[in-house]
Amino acid sequence: MSQYFATFERSDFMAPRESTLKNLEIAAEAAIEKLGKDLVAIDLSEQMVLSEVFLLVSGNNERQINSIADEIEIKLGEHGEKAVRRERSESWILLDFEDLVVHIQTEEIRRYYMLDRLWNDCPSIHLHAVAHMQAEMKRS
């Protein structure tokens, strides 16, 4: 895992816990390793009781979203985290780590369900893993 951690910039309510933000970055890095794209992290701490953060990830096809999901479970497992639930269809996998819920979708399903827009009244969380990847791409 890199030294980058998600940051959160609001102080008027309870922000996600540091452990949740750390797991978020681990999951984001794992998704990027398997070429996941369009990563968006949404803070739900003010909206939901059961989860603090959603991570949305897109993949090209069923094989890739399975690979992304497997890698996220492996990497978080190395840090003692285990998904309490994994639901899957051909085009959408949901990994529930209680405070962190990861939605891995094909691009087509992501455009159809538009979870980004459904939760657009919630603040997004800056992902250092994404910023790091973008910086690396610029250097190449």
Q: Which of 10, 2, 4, 20 is nearest to 102 (CA)?
A: 20
pLDDT bucket at 128, cuts 50 / 70 / 90: confident
In a domain? residue 4: no
In a domain? residue 125: yes
In a domain? residue 109: yes
In a domain? residue 12: no
In a domain? residue 11: no
* Domain total of the chain: 1
Between CA 5 and CA 13, with CA 7 as vertex, the angle to 5 degrees is: 135
Pairing of strands 92-96, 100-106: antiparallel
Q: What is the pLDDT of residues 63-121, one digit of tens each?
A: 999 999 999 999 999 999 999 999 999 999 999 999 999 999 999 999 999 999 999 89
Does 5 have pLDDT greater than 90?
Answer: no
Determine what percent of the chain is predicted with pLDDT higher than 90: 70
DSSP 85: E
Name the residue range of residue 85's domain. 18-139
pTM as predicted: 0.86
Pairing of strands 37-43, 85-88: unpaired
DSSP 83: -
In this structure, what CATH number is given to the domain that contains residue 84?
A: 3.30.460.10
41 neighbors 53 (Cβ within 8 angstroms): yes
In a domain? residue 1: no
Q: For position 49, what pLDDT does the model report? A: 64
Does 7 have pLDDT greater than 70?
Answer: no
In a domain? residue 7: no
Q: Give me the mean pLDDT over the 123-140 stretch.
A: 82
Lowest model confidence (mean pLDDT) among 31-35, 49-53, 131-135: 131-135
In a domain? residue 9: no
